[in-house]
């Protein structure tokens, strides 16, 4: 039982409640793979493509709100984990990443599948460990168990994130014939009590006093998982202090009626005078990244006198170049504590209400324009996504791939009636490489219906997300196939270069129908307005199989519709 300390890693994980493992085939990782596979309390899934596997693990961990074990063999396999590890790092999703390795003396000796794996993920993990290669001394066993305890604890401390354990193994890698793998029960478990951050009286009183000194206060919510308690406390704070709340589709604040959803649209169209009237004196922020470039430009140009960012721990971002105070507490605690303070003078509240109404007026104007536009215009990606979102079931997960998919959804937004919809997107690094795989991870973790809106390039790029043996009856995918990267035809810059089609849009003629045939999925195809009604009706019907609906449309029409929509918003400011 030479590998007993390694086999016991599975037992340590199980005792600490880490019971989901994503394994990638390979020989060097055999001791770990067999340990997790043969442990009764570890649920394993196997995926052949390491890049896809790592994103699937990220989706599982995000859905279950618990660390997931990720295992690969040595060499380039580890590098294939890197995109998902970086996404998990910036999205604050816990992963325990094991990379099997050759012994140190064989590095740089032209041995197969051998690269420099120590700290291979650089700054994109919370910490990287390397296990000892030999376990003869009791201190080596102690160290292995200590590292696993520490890695699991660290992955769950704020900010959550991936932790890397590099594990060099000597041959033989497999048990001898007749040898059974067993697990030690008397293992040292190191528990980590979660930190409880709170605002004491000495902190609340000066914060409240300072808060009451401003009459133009603005809340901007970044990407955040849905939190009912937080949503209610923010709504209460907004009403009590007359503060507008800007929350894009990824903030998951759409269950609240008065959230400013369309800031990106009207800030891209209104005059400097209007923007100046929207300038806050005090900016309150929480959560991760925001989608809107126009919100960033507004707050960088018309900066607040003070900017408070709320997060319990870690290095704070200074997205708007105006950060003046970091409040080290969970956002829900911050708003709850300040909601308990007595109200302000009527005169002060009136001035605050005036500022809130300026934001609400721009939101209302844009909502009316958008509603009129969608009633008048016909077949395009933008119109179809609007119709699709309006028909989402009351309880589901909505996944948004990067590029135009997430932008379409943000322009359209989710109304308060869709309060049961939870929105997810890989906006940690904003890449297209693992959008489908992450959605697959969510679908494998819970029976909730999962819908993914994705572009053709993101979809075909990540086709190996389906290369496995696990059914996905609760995953339906909408593919916006305009046969290229249309975003490069819309944004400033690439649209003006002669090599646009070849170097940026990268035209392609693939169809999702062939993929569906290969994997046995139900395939639906829409290429005209007359097919929309029946196509969507079939798409929203769950029949125990994965479904892909391919919307095939013209880049020219999509670009024209997108520009017309933005022109319609701008027209409201030109009259």
- The CATH number of whichever domain residue 479 belongs to comes to 3.40.50.970
User: Of 168, 185, 220, which one is at a domain's C-terminal end?
Assistant: 168
Q: Which residues pair with 552 in a beta bridge?
A: 481
Phi-psi region of 570 (alpha: psi -120 to 50; beta: other; left: phi over 0): alpha
pLDDT tens for residues 187-201?
A: 999 998 777 678 888
When mean pLDDT is compared across 63-72, 79-88, 276-285, 312-321, the lowest value belongs to 312-321
Same domain for 350 and 391, yes or no, is no
- Please report whether residue 158 resides in a domain: yes
| From 228-242, 322-336, 495-509, the region with the lowest mean pLDDT | 495-509
Tens digits of residue pLDDT in 358-413: 999 999 999 999 999 998 777 999 999 999 999 999 999 999 999 999 999 999 99
**Given 168, 187, 216, which residue is the final one in a domain?**
168
pLDDT, tens digit, 9 for 90 and up, residues 430-451: 999 999 999 999 999 999 999 9
Buried b (16+ CB within 10 A) or exposed e, 513-533: eebbeeeebbbbbbeeeeebe
Q: Are residues 353 and 383 in the same domain?
A: no
pLDDT band of residue 346 (cuts 50, 70, 90) is: low
Is residue 179 a part of any domain in this protein?
no
Q: Within this chain, do residues 336 and 426 fall inside the same structural domain, yes or no?
A: no
Predicted local distance difference test score (pLDDT) of residue 507: 78
Q: Can you give the pLDDT at residue 15? A: 97
Nearest to 526 by CA among 455, 478, 487: 478
Position 352 in a domain: yes
Same domain, 398 and 503: yes
Quick one: pLDDT at residue 347?
65
Mean pLDDT across the chain, nearest whole number? 94
pLDDT for residue 265 is more than 80: yes
Q: Read off the pLDDT band of 335 (50, 70, 90).
A: very high
Does 344 score more than 70 pLDDT? no
Tell me: pLDDT of 117 over 90.
Answer: yes
158 and 307 housed in the same domain: no
Gyration radius (Cα) of the chain, Å: 26
pLDDT band at 342 (very low <50, low <70, confident <90, very high): low
Measuring CA to CA, how many Å separate 570 from each of 77, 269, 271, 298, 575? Answer: 49, 5, 9, 16, 9
Query: Is 438 found in the same domain as 344?
Result: no
Q: Which residues contact 357 (CB under 8 A, 6 or more apart)?
A: none
Domain identity same for 124 and 161: yes
Two structure tokens written together for 239: 């009403």
**One domain for residues 440 and 467:** yes
Residues 408 and 331 in one domain: no
Lowest-pLDDT range of 28-32, 132-136, 196-200, 417-421: 196-200
Calculate mean pLDDT across residues 479-491. 81
**Residue 176 within any structural domain of the chain:** no
For the stretch 38-71, pLDDT in tens is 999 999 999 999 999 999 999 999 999 999 999 9
User: How many domains are there within the chain?
Assistant: 3
Q: What is the structure's pLDDT at 219? A: 98
| pLDDT classification of 509: cutoffs 50, 70, 90 | confident
Can you tell me the mean pLDDT for 149-163? 97
In a domain, 345, yes or no: yes
Q: Are residues 326 and 352 in the same domain?
A: yes
| 230 shares a domain with 327 | yes
Local confidence band at 96 (pLDDT 50, 70, 90 cut-offs): very high
In angstroms, the CA 567 to CA 565 distance is 5
Q: How far apart are CA 53 and CA 49, in angstroms?
A: 6
Does 186 fall in a domain? Answer: no
Would the pLDDT of 19 be above 70? yes
Model confidence over 523-540: pLDDT tens digits?
999 999 999 999 999 999
Residue 113 sits in the same domain as residue 221: no
CATH number at residue 254: 3.40.50.1220
- Asked if the structure places residue 193 within a domain, the reply is no
Determine the longest span between alpha carbons in the chain, in angstroms: 84
Range(s) of the domain holding residue 305: 201-359
Q: Is residue 191 part of a domain?
A: no
Residue 22: its pLDDT value, please? 98
């Amino acid at each position: 039982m030479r590998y007993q300390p390694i086999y016991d890693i599975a037992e340590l994980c199980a005792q600490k409640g880490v019971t989901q493992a994503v394994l990638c085939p390979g020989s060097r990782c055999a001791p770990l793979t067999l340990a997790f596979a043969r442990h009764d309390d570890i649920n394993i899934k196997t995926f052949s493509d390491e890049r896809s596997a790592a994103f699937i693990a990220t989706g599982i961990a995000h859905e279950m709100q618990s660390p997931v074990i990720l295992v690969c063999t040595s060499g380039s396999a580890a590098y294939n984990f890197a995109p998902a590890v970086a996404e998990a790092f910036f999205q604050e999703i816990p992963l325990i990443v094991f990379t099997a390795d050759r012994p140190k003396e064989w590095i740089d000796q032209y041995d197969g599948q051998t690269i420099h794996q120590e700290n291979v993920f650089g700054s994109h993990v919370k910490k990287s460990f390397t296990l000892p290669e030999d376990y003869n001394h009791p201190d080596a066993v102690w160290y292995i168990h200590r590292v696993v305890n520490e890695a699991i604890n660290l992955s769950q401390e704020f900010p959550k994130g991936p932790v890397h354990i590099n594990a060099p193994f000597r041959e033989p890698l497999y048990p001898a014939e007749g040898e059974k793998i067993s697990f030690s029960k008397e293992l040292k478990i190191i528990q980590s009590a979660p930190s409880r951050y709170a605002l004491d009286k000495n902190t609340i009183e000066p914060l409240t006093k300072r808060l009451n000194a401003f009459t133009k206060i603005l809340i901007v919510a970044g990407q955040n998982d849905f939190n009912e308690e937080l949503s209610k406390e923010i709504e209460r704070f907004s009403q009590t202090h007359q503060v507008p709340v800007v929350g894009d589709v990824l903030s998951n604040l759409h269950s609240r009626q008065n959230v400013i959803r369309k800031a990106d649209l009207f800030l891209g169209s209104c005059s400097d005078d209007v923007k100046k009237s929207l300038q806050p004196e005090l900016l309150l922020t929480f959560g991760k990244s925001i989608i809107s470039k126009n919100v960033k430009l507004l707050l960088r140009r018309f900066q607040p006198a003070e900017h408070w960012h709320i997060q319990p721990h870690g290095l704070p971002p200074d997205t708007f170049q105006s950060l003046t105070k970091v409040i080290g507490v969970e956002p829900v605690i911050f708003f709850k504590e300040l909601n308990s303070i007595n109200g302000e003078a009527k005169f002060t509240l009136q001035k605050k209400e005036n500022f809130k109404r300026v934001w609400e007026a721009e939101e209302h104007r844009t909502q009316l324009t958008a509603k009129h536009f969608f009633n008048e215009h016909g077949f395009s990606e933008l119109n179809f996504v609007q119709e699709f979102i309006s028909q989402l079931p009351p309880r589901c997960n909505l996944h948004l791939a990067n590029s135009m998919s997430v932008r379409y959804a943000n322009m359209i937004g989710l109304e308060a009636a869709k309060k049961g919809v939870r929105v997810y997107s890989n906006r940690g690094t904003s890449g297209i490489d693992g959008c489908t795989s992450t959605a697959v991870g969510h679908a494998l973790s819970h029976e909730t219906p999962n819908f993914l809106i994705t572009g053709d390039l993101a979809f075909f790029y990540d086709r190996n997300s389906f290369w496995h043996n696990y059914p996905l009856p609760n995953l339906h995918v909408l593919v916006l196939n305009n046969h290229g990267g249309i975003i490069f035809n819309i944004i400033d810059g690439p649209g003006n270069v002669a090599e646009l089609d070849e170097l940026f849009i990268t035209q392609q003629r693939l169809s999702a129908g062939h993929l569906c045939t290969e994997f046995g999925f139900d395939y639906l195809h829409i290429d005209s307005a007359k097919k929309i009604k029946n196509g969507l009706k079939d798409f929203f019907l769950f029949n125990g199989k994965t479904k892909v609906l391919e919307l095939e449309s013209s880049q020219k029409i999509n670009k024209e519709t997108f520009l017309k929509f933005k022109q319609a918003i701008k027209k409201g400011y030109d009259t």
